[in-house]
Amino acid sequence: MFRRASALLAGTLALAGCVAVQPQPLAGRYPAQIAIGPGVPIAGVATSVGRVAILAPLTGPNTERGQFLVQAAQLALSSPGSPMLDVRDTAGTPEGAASAAAQAIAAGATLLIGPLTGGETAAAAGPAKRAGVPILAFTNDSTQAQPGIWTLGITPGQQVRRLVGASLAEGRSQFAALLPQNAFGSAMADALSQATSAAGAPPPTIRRYGSSMASMNSTVRDLSGAADRRAPIDAELKAARAQRDADGARTAPDPARRDVPPPPFDTVLLADAGDPLTQLTALLPYYDINSPAVRVLGPVLWAAPAARGGAELTGAWYAAPDPAARIAFAQAFQAKYGAPAPGLADVAYDAASIARVLAGSGGFSAPSLTRPDGYAGVDGILALNPNGTVRRGLALFEVQRGGPVMVQPAPESISAPGV
């Protein structure tokens, strides 16, 4: 019934350019170089729908990531009848992405996959929209999503929607959040507001904290309402002691033995990782935010042990792909290139696979890309919405003493609740 979660490459799953933790350096892990120049067709044959171009950083600080993105796309397009793959170097900059997109379109590309980050995607969107060429970007920066521009990375919205659906099914409907004052915290806050509204749940109570421990402490105290919840017990204790007699002493309650009423919410969404998360979770019980009355929810980053650090998260939930779903892809990548497939390669493979499927069935029009039944991706089912957002079927994990355990499998239908 339960399945242990393997450690995901949380940084690569969350790469957004502006709302995510950057992945750890990959130096030395991918020694093979992409021995091709921009605009050179790789695998596949010409089709009536034209070429597919991949926009990847083959020079600059993200060179190694660019290499495995191209490798994953090549793997997806290695079967007969696949469209031609035109490789374009973005150099990891917005200017490079805009130039690469324009050059690829001029060379006949009718679909762009990539680029890597949110900033590059925003830049590439200009020439792509002017030419009416769709983009399947690798970022999870959902602010870049718009008609014709899809963000394939695992987004805060996808994660939070799954968590809200599972919480409601458990009978929890009062949502709160303690989130850092940064771009990722803003993305998680927006996702929670949107998910609860769409589900018909009451608006969440969201509090944001700064980088200092003092800010974190005051924010948790404010959200908890602990002083008000403890007030009746403190008043009873004060009144009993004021009698100053033996009966009064016997009737004086022991605060340690009295149950403080629960807070006015039954779930709390967090977004931090590492040391800030450890500090935050230490404050929760201090201000009487306790399990099981309150379920802690968090991001896919928690799939990585280093992200959880020393935080007390027993019973907490997060939504993520089922690691078992990508085994076939990981084995094929390893066999082809002699190196493990990092998490970020999944989106490049999926984008190229969508291109392969649609090249043989009508091309890359918006109605074709947004087909209602979606696609079977490396990390589970996904579907492209007309507005540029992407729905994903994610599994639900619970942090237990021995590590995360999958407590609900990923949905098999794109119309399932929480997708």
- Encode pLDDT of 249-302 as tens digits: 555 555 445 577 889 999 999 999 999 999 999 999 999 999 899 999 999 999
| CB-based contact 38:103 (threshold 8 Å) | yes
Q: Of the ranges 169-178, 250-259, 304-313, 323-332, which one carries the lowest mean pLDDT score?
A: 250-259
pLDDT(358) > 50: yes
171-181: average pLDDT: 97
Domains located in the chain, CATH noted: 3-153+323-388 (3.40.50.2300), 155-218+263-320+393-419 (3.40.50.2300), 226-261 (no CATH)
**To the nearest 10°, the Cα dihedral for 351, 353, 359, 363?**
-30
Calpha distance 221→199 (Å, rounded) = 28
Alpha-carbon dihedral sign for residues 208, 211, 214, 220: positive
Q: Which of 383, 403, 392, 389 is nearest to 325 (CA)?
A: 392
SS3 state of residue 8: coil
pLDDT(1) > 70: no
pLDDT(379) > 80: yes
Within 10 Å of residue 2's Cβ, how many Cβ atoms? 11
SS3 state of residue 275: helix
SS3 state of residue 160: helix
Residue-level pLDDT at 237: 67
305-317: average pLDDT: 95
- Encode pLDDT of 23-55 as tens digits: 222 222 332 334 333 333 333 333 445 689 999
pLDDT mean across residues, the chain: 85
Residue-level pLDDT at 6: 35
Q: Of the ranges 147-161, 226-240, 340-354, which one carries the lowest mean pLDDT score?
A: 226-240
Q: Hey, what are 339's tokens?
A: 């190196």
pLDDT(18) > 90: no
Within 10 Å of residue 144's Cβ, how many Cβ atoms? 25
Q: Of the ranges 45-59, 98-112, 363-377, 384-398, which one carries the lowest mean pLDDT score?
A: 45-59
